[in-house]
């Protein structure tokens, strides 16, 4: 089954609990915002989902593949945009995408078709020949999202992709991110900014290593703004 399933997931840094019995389930094509203040456990969760860390306890299933039993199949279906940029700044957008395609064994006409598609999707086709170093923060982010989509992931993870962007770029990336599940991709998007979450979004609030709420944003808020609700439950 496609989608993302996490159950009974816990993780410790020595004595420090970073995740405590976290569980949730996203179906194919679901879009979900993961909202948590600094230190809530978002990065730890992403590090476990991408197998940078190995969970002490719990299960993760990505597009039907158990991450522990079949990591290769699970990770092959995953796309990820990390919080820090991982582009090669001395390469152009096109070269960065070609390099990533080669890592995935994608070549020839198929590669060119895929690159054309993701460039169009992120509206950066006209910048393809520019070096990543010369791009502004918003276009770097778009390039990273384009790269993460190149191999048609079933599940896409984005770890605070708007960090460090100005207001206009933040809004543009937030809009792009909200459109990413329209083709059936399951999207989990971590943020610590309540104003990036839309009322109809599926929302998981993570706080102090635990899931505080899981549901539709406007239902969780109960008539209040998400900003107010989030502040109230996390401070």
Ligand X SMILES: Nc1ncnc2c1ncn2[C@@H]1O[C@H](COP(=O)(O)OP(=O)(O)OP(=O)(O)O)[C@@H](O)[C@H]1O
Residue 122 Cα distances to 31, 50, 51, 205, angstroms? 17, 23, 27, 28
Chain centroid to CA 215: 18
CB of 153 to ligand X, least distance (A): 21
| Of 4 and 118, CB closest to ligand X | 4
Site string for ligand X, 34-73 (x = CB under 6 A): --x-xxxxxxx-----------------------------
Q: Please state, in angstroms and rounded to a whole number, the distance separating the CA atoms of residues 161 and 21.
A: 26
**Which residue stretch of 1-9, 32-40, 65-73, 146-154 sits at the interface with ligand X (rule: CB under 6 A)?**
32-40
| Of 36 and 138, CB closest to ligand X | 36
CB of 220 to ligand X, least distance (A): 18
Query: Per rule CB under 6 A, is residue 194 in the interface with ligand X?
Result: no
What tokens were used for 182?
Answer: 């329209």
Q: Please state, in angstroms and rounded to a whole number, the distance separating the CA atoms of residues 117 and 142.
A: 13
Query: Per rule CB under 6 A, is residue 153 in the interface with ligand X?
Result: no
| Nearest partner of 107 among 11, 155, 115, judged by Cα | 115
Site string for ligand X, 4-23 (x = CB under 6 A): ---------x--x-x-----
Q: Please state, in angstroms and rounded to a whole number, the distance separating the CA atoms of residues 155 and 153.
A: 5
Site for ligand X, rule CB under 6 A = 13, 16, 18, 36, 38-44, 192
């Amino acid at each position: 089954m496609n989608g993302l399933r996490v159950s009974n997931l816990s993780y410790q840094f020595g004595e420090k609990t970073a995740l405590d019995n976290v569980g949730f389930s996203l179906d194919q094509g679901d879009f979900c915002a993961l909202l948590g203040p600094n230190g809530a456990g978002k990065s730890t969760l992403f590090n476990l989902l991408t197998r940078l860390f190995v969970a002490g306890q719990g299960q993760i299933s990505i597009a039907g593949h158990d991450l522990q039993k079949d990591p290769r199949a699970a990770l092959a279906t995953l796309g990820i945009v990390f919080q820090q940029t991982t582009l090669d700044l001395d390469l152009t957008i096109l070269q960065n995408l070609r390099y990533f395609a080669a890592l995935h064994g994608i070549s020839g006409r198929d590669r060119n078709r895929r690159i054309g598609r993701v460039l169009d999707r992120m509206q950066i086709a006209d910048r393809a020949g520019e070096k990543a170093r010369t791009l502004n923060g918003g276009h770097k982010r778009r390039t990273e999202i384009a790269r993460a989509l190149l191999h048609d992931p079933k599940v896409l993870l984005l770890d605070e992709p708007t960090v460090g962007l100005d207001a206009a770029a933040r809004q543009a990336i937030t809009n792009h991110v909200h459109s990413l599940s329209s083709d059936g991709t399951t999207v989990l998007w971590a943020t610590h900014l309540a104003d990036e979450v839309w009322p109809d979004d599926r929302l998981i609030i993570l706080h102090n290593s635990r899931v505080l709420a899981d549901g539709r944003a406007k239902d969780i808020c109960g008539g209040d703004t998400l900003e107010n609700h989030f502040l109230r439950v996390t401070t």
